Amino acid sequence: MDTLSTIPRMPDVGWLGSFGPRTAQRLAFQRKLAQQSAPLVRGRVLHLPVYFPCTPEAAHDVLVTHAKSFEKSPGFRVILHDLAGQGLFTSEGTLWRTQRKMMSPLFQPAPIHRFADIMRAVAERSAESLRDGQSIDVAHETTRIAMSIVGKALFDVDTFDEADALGGALTTALSWVNRNLASPALVAHVLAMDATGALATRAPEALRPFFERANDKVQSPFMLPGVRDPELLSAVALVNERMQRMIDERRKQGLTRADLMTLLLTAKDPEGVSDRMSDKQVRDEAITLFVAGHETTATALAWSMYLLARDPEALAKATAEADALGDGAVSPWDAHKLAYCTRVFREAMRLYPPLMMLPRRSLEPVEVGSHKLPAKSLVFVSIYAQHYREDAYPDPERFDPDRWLPEREAERHRSSYLPFSAGPRFCIGMHFAMMEGPIVLATLLRRWRFEIDRDRVIEPDDFATLRPRGGVPAVVRARR
């Protein structure tokens, strides 16, 4: 076993350490990670060391082989506290295990296949609403579509017309999250969490209640800059109010539909305190699924359209596949009918992984890439770096959907491609998204041509997801 001192150090990007304030710096750092042959390298956030697994094998150690030895980085929980609370994305331990087990059956391929018609109907509604010669932002349109699909499929609510208000509120909330990620204030917050947590168990008996209360308090981001900004507060309030209304309406209508909302509202309290889950827990789970279920897919769809517009050959192939569907249904779902659109969607997520980093912290000493890391080590798996490794993806900058032909895919390590992560905490919505992406692409391409200026390079912006900066402006042209 190699010692910590033999782990190569990455040069700093700025005074914060490995995380520069601008997206371009952060992406450049991750491209450097992609070029490393060492399994593990070391960077820092302020004074705290951060370890970055570089090879797919080392990423696999963290996400799969030793998944039990890690928790999500506590900073993540703090920063998402007001928006997603203790939903599936942020929860840990028994709460996470119970909730994941309860929801998993609904996200298996067979139950998800029932949603193919909803996906196509929502995409068709969007296609219907467009006009020849209209200027649109493709990213805005894909957000409307993805938000409506997740609302209808999982909660049986229609958000198509509300998408702008909800989307605006979520953008405000997520941009605050993004501004504070890797900020010195968040690091200080996490240190305060650790200190009060330790004192709550180790301080003299009489003082423990005080530290317990202090530790409770620092679970929320109360001391981060801008947390009381009126615009942020009203955005979070709007999202909460819409979710609560959805819960109230469904309770009133009776819980007869076989969908996710019914499952949540009839499930047992995961803590075993009462015979049903609290409205707060239902709300946390619903918001989590609602946000995680559309922001990522919308981003991946917008990049897919952008990349296709810049590659006439790939566009012709994807359009021919869409046309071959005729007016035929996509349901029952048959992935082979949309094999090329699926490859486009996968390649878009390689080049622009919607979530590009998986921050973890070790719970105990653990082996990663043949180094033993101590407990409480920060280990960040860069999805982006894996996707730009030249040994897995020759000419990694090139958009090439045929990288996803089965025989070529079989040559790569499983953890070379991680848009949905891997191991026990992999994305619960993976099958949902992998069906939705190709269906939406094909439905839009069948009807319209999206003219996107091929000379204009759109840069990624690492918002909460890796969004296209300034959107994807396009002019819609009728095909038939």
Q: Are 106 and 262 in contact (CB under 8 A)?
A: no
Q: Which is nearer to ligand HEM, 100 or 179 (CB)?
A: 100
Q: Which is nearer to ligand HEM, 100 or 113 (CB)?
A: 100
Q: Which is nearer to ligand HEM, 284 or 311 (CB)?
A: 284
Min dist. Cβ of residue 100 to ligand HEM (A): 5
Min dist. Cβ of residue 88 to ligand HEM (A): 4
400: CB partners within 8 A, 6+ apart: 347
Q: Which is nearer to ligand HEM, 218 or 433 (CB)?
A: 433
Q: Which is nearer to ligand HEM, 7 or 427 (CB)?
A: 427
Min dist. Cβ of residue 204 to ligand HEM (A): 37
Q: Which is nearer to ligand HEM, 48 or 67 (CB)?
A: 67
Q: Which is nearer to ligand HEM, 355 or 476 (CB)?
A: 355
Neighbours of 12 (CB within 10 A): 14
- Give the footprint of ligand HEM on this chain (CB under 6 A): 72, 88-89, 100, 150, 288-289, 292-293, 296-297, 300, 349, 354-355, 358, 419-421, 425, 427-429, 432-433
Min dist. Cβ of residue 352 to ligand HEM (A): 10
Q: Which is nearer to ligand HEM, 193 or 300 (CB)?
A: 300
477: CB partners within 8 A, 6+ apart: 132, 133, 448, 449, 450, 451
Min dist. Cβ of residue 211 to ligand HEM (A): 29
Min dist. Cβ of residue 212 to ligand HEM (A): 27
Min dist. Cβ of residue 429 to ligand HEM (A): 2
Min dist. Cβ of residue 357 to ligand HEM (A): 8
Q: Which is nearer to ligand HEM, 150 or 169 (CB)?
A: 150
Q: Residue-wise over 427-459: b if at least 16 C-beta within 10 A, else e?
A: bbbebbbbbbbbbbbbbbbbbbbbebeeeeebe
Q: Which is nearer to ligand HEM, 300 or 368 (CB)?
A: 300
Q: Which is nearer to ligand HEM, 338 or 476 (CB)?
A: 338
Min dist. Cβ of residue 199 to ligand HEM (A): 29
Min dist. Cβ of residue 427 to ligand HEM (A): 3
Strands 357-362 and 48-53: unpaired
Residue nearest to ligand HEM (CB): 429
